[in-house]
Amino acid sequence: MSINLSTESKFKEGLAFAQQMDLEDPLARFRSYFHIPTDEDGNEFVYLCGNSLGLQPKSTKNYLEQELKDWGNLGVEGHFHAKNPWMPYHEFLTQAMADVVGAKPNEVVIMNTLSVNLHLMMVSFYRPTSTRNKIMIEYDAFPSDRYAVESQIRFHGFDPKDCLVELKAREGEVTLRDEDILATIDDHGESLALVMLGNTNYYTGQFFNMKSITTKGHSLGAVVGFDCAHGAGNAPLELHDSGADFAVWCTYKYINSGPGSLGGCFVHERHASDPNLPRFTGWWGHNKETRFGMRDPFDPIQGAEGWQLSNPPILSMAAIKASLDIFAEAGMKNLRSKAIKLTAYMEFLIHQLGNEMIAIITPAEPERRGSQLSIQVKNADQLLFDKITKAGVIADWREPDVIRVSAVPLYNSFSDVYRFVEILKEQLS
């Protein structure tokens, strides 16, 4: 049975087909690397919530125990003598993280958490003047991003009412048209200081073309940054090639590093050693050779690491390492090619239901979405969501009327997708 993506018609209904797809899946073994949540009777849930909190790799425990053991045995000496010395620990994550987001190693650092990093990036990259002071975001941007952006505008003495440009879908449409994004950038022209979009919209699952947005923004003199919370580990980002000035993301969604874990940050290499960029600084961003000199004037590390403030929490880093080692083993390209199939298969099965109560609002083109499908429920009936939850599906409900589901290629199977749509069918009838 060949699996050809471009033709949805290659998919078939029925459990046997899903099971066959699982048999042919070269990444199938990775599911066993993860703890799959179960109910009290030990039945596995259909977990489709990796867009919100990724599952725990079984290896995470060992990675954490290693650091606890070294801390116990070595105390402060662990900074240099732990199996994975804590002093340079974040460097052990860099290559794998860079591979996942398509960046050069010196453009990437794991530090802080997403909203914190977004602020740090805006400190450096949102530098409004009396004539160029606007920030463009999505109308339905994630609330934290909106708060961060508004507060930065106020911090500089401006008013969000004048300076916040919101991208809104056309009347009667849910997702943004690429040409409308570019046209809005044009409309605001030289008053636009910063374009800051979620590269994958958290609500609709729409994946934006970062390169064309960046090119357009730059052509008018704006800075362009992305919040990749829903993109990192989900779809190929090619951050370096996009030309974006900066990007931030979290690692607890598709990167499976545990609740509240550290975030990632990208600074394009052309800014690596720009002495004119203002930034908030701390000792961990200082030249490693002289960091402990303590009295030297701040001498930033070249590249994204120069934005670090504090020595990082090693236990959280260890959990990220556990996860990134799995990504390195599986390969982002392979993951993406399975993700495209899983998502298209889910879409196919949902379409087969032919039920007017529900509609998929996520774009249909694979290059305009990641793993997430956002299912709009007519008449905003949350009851449907409650019922599928009761029937064993872990998904997520977003006001006013959307169920978000994400089939994650590392641990979700085609049978998971099949079970989900069967449950949906039962609960719809």
Contact set with ligand PLP (CB under 6 A)? 113-115, 142, 144-145, 198, 202, 227, 229-230, 250
State residue 314 phi and psi, 5-degree precision: -65, -35
Count H helices and E strands in the chain, helices first.
14, 13
Of 362 and 413, nearer to ligand PLP (C-beta) is 362
Q: Is the peptide bond before 400 cis (omega within 30 degrees of 0)?
A: yes
**Crossing angle for the helix pair 332-353 and 314-330, to the nearest 10 degrees:** 80
| Contacts for 134 with CB less than 8 Å, ≥ 6 apart | 162, 163, 164, 165, 188, 191, 192, 193, 194
DSSP assignment of 202-256, as one string?
Answer: TTT-BBP-HHHHHHHHHHTT-EEEEE-TTTTTTS---HHHHT-SEEEEESSSTT-
Four-CA torsion 140, 164, 179, 378, nearest 10 degrees: 20
Instruction: Compute the least distance from the CB of residue 15 to ligand PLP, in Å.
Output: 33
Alpha helices (runs of H) in 331-411, residue ranges in sequence order: 332-353, 382-390
Of 230 and 338, nearer to ligand PLP (C-beta) is 230
Q: What is the H or E stretch that residue 292 is in?
A: none
Of 30 and 202, nearer to ligand PLP (C-beta) is 202
Instruction: Compute the least distance from the CB of residue 312 to ligand PLP, in Å.
Output: 15
Instruction: Compute the least distance from the CB of residue 144 to ligand PLP, in Å.
Output: 4
Instruction: Compute the least distance from the CB of residue 405 to ligand PLP, in Å.
Output: 16
Of 280 and 298, nearer to ligand PLP (C-beta) is 280
Q: How far apart are the C-alpha atoms of 11 and 4, rounded to whole Å?
A: 9
Of 148 and 417, nearer to ligand PLP (C-beta) is 148
Instruction: Compute the least distance from the CB of residue 272 to ligand PLP, in Å.
Output: 25
Of 347 and 396, nearer to ligand PLP (C-beta) is 396
Instruction: Compute the least distance from the CB of residue 230 to ligand PLP, in Å.
Output: 5
Q: What is the H or E stretch that residue 298 is in?
A: none
| Contacts for 45 with CB less than 8 Å, ≥ 6 apart | 36, 37, 38, 39, 392, 393, 394
Q: How far apart are the C-alpha atoms of 341 and 101, rounded to whole Å?
A: 21
Q: How far apart are the C-alpha atoms of 285 and 123, rounded to whole Å?
A: 15
Q: Identify whether the C-beta of residue 70 lies closer than 8 Å to the C-beta of residue 78.
A: yes
Q: How far apart are the C-alpha atoms of 411 and 27, rounded to whole Å?
A: 9
Of 118 and 304, nearer to ligand PLP (C-beta) is 118
Helix (H, G, I), strand (E, B) or coil at 44: strand
Q: How far apart are the first and last CA of the chain?
A: 32
Of 227 and 416, nearer to ligand PLP (C-beta) is 227
Q: Furthest-apart CA pair in the chain: how many Å?
A: 71
Instruction: Compute the least distance from the CB of residue 294 to ligand PLP, in Å.
Output: 31
Pair of tokens at residue 113: 């958490």
Q: Identify whether the C-beta of residue 254 lies closer than 8 Å to the C-beta of residue 50.
A: yes
Of 84 and 113, nearer to ligand PLP (C-beta) is 113
Of 115 and 152, nearer to ligand PLP (C-beta) is 115
Instruction: Compute the least distance from the CB of residue 414 to ligand PLP, in Å.
Output: 26
Instruction: Compute the least distance from the CB of residue 143 to ligand PLP, in Å.
Output: 8
Instruction: Compute the least distance from the CB of residue 287 to ligand PLP, in Å.
Output: 28
